[in-house]
Amino acid sequence: MTPTTDTLADLGWTAHFSEQISDEEAQHCHPVRVMAVHRGKIAVAGEGSRDFVSPYIPGAQPTDDHPTVGDWLLFDDAMGHPIRVLQRINLFKRRSPADPRKDQMIAANVDTVFIVASCNQDFSVARLERYLVLAREVGVQPVVVLTKSDLTDTPETFAAAARAIEPGLLVETVNGRDPADVARLAAWCGPGKTVAFLGSSGVGKSTLVNTLRGSDSIATQAIRAIDGTGRHTTTVREMHRLEQGGWLLDLPGMRELQLSEAASGIAEVFDDFTLIAQECRFSDCSHRVEPGCAIQAAIAAGTLTPERFDRWRRLAAEEKGPVSTGGRRRS
Beta strands in 153-294 (DSSP E): 170-173, 194-198, 237-241, 247-250
Whether residue 19 is predicted with pLDDT greater than 90 in this model: the reply is yes
Query: Within 10 Å of residue 273's Cβ, how many Cβ atoms?
Result: 22
Residue 209, classed as helix, strand or coil, is helix
Task: Compute the distance between CA of residue 145 and CA of residue 173 in angstroms, rounded to an integer.
Answer: 6
Task: Compute the distance between CA of residue 85 and CA of residue 105 in angstroms, rounded to an integer.
Answer: 13
Task: Compute the distance between CA of residue 95 and CA of residue 101 in angstroms, rounded to an integer.
Answer: 7
DSSP string, 134-163: HHHHHT-EEEEEEE-GGG-S-HHHHHHHHH
**Domains with residue ranges and CATH for the chain:** 2-88 (2.40.50), 92-250 (3.40.50.300), 270-320 (1.10.40.50)
pLDDT above 70 covers what percent of the chain? 87
Q: CA separation (Å) from 182 to 13, 179, 225, 327?
A: 27, 5, 21, 35
Confidence of residue 1 (pLDDT cuts 50, 70, 90): confident
Give the per-residue pLDDT at 40. Answer: 87
Using CB atoms within 10 Å of the CB of residue 79, give its burial: 0 to 12 exposed, 13 to 18 middle, 19+ buried.
Answer: exposed
Mean pLDDT of the chain: 86
User: Which among 188, 240, 193 has a CA at the least distance from the CA of 214?
Assistant: 240
pLDDT digits (tens, 9 = 90+) for 212-223: 887 766 544 333
Whether residue 324 is predicted with pLDDT greater than 90 in this model: the reply is no
CA 208 to chain centre: 15
How long a stretch of residues is the chain?
Answer: 331
Confidence of residue 100 (pLDDT cuts 50, 70, 90): confident
Task: Compute the distance between CA of residue 148 and CA of residue 168 in angstroms, rounded to an integer.
Answer: 23
pLDDT digits (tens, 9 = 90+) for 117-145: 999 998 999 999 999 999 999 999 999 99
Overall average pLDDT of the 17-40 stretch:
95
- Contact residues for 88 (Cβ-Cβ < 8 A; gap 6+): 65, 71, 108, 109
Q: Are 175 and 184 in contact (CB under 8 A)?
A: no
Overall average pLDDT of the 34-45 stretch:
92
**DSSP code of 187?**
G
Give the per-residue pLDDT at 251. Answer: 66
Task: Compute the distance between CA of residue 214 and CA of residue 212 in angstroms, rounded to an integer.
Answer: 6
Confidence of residue 101 (pLDDT cuts 50, 70, 90): confident
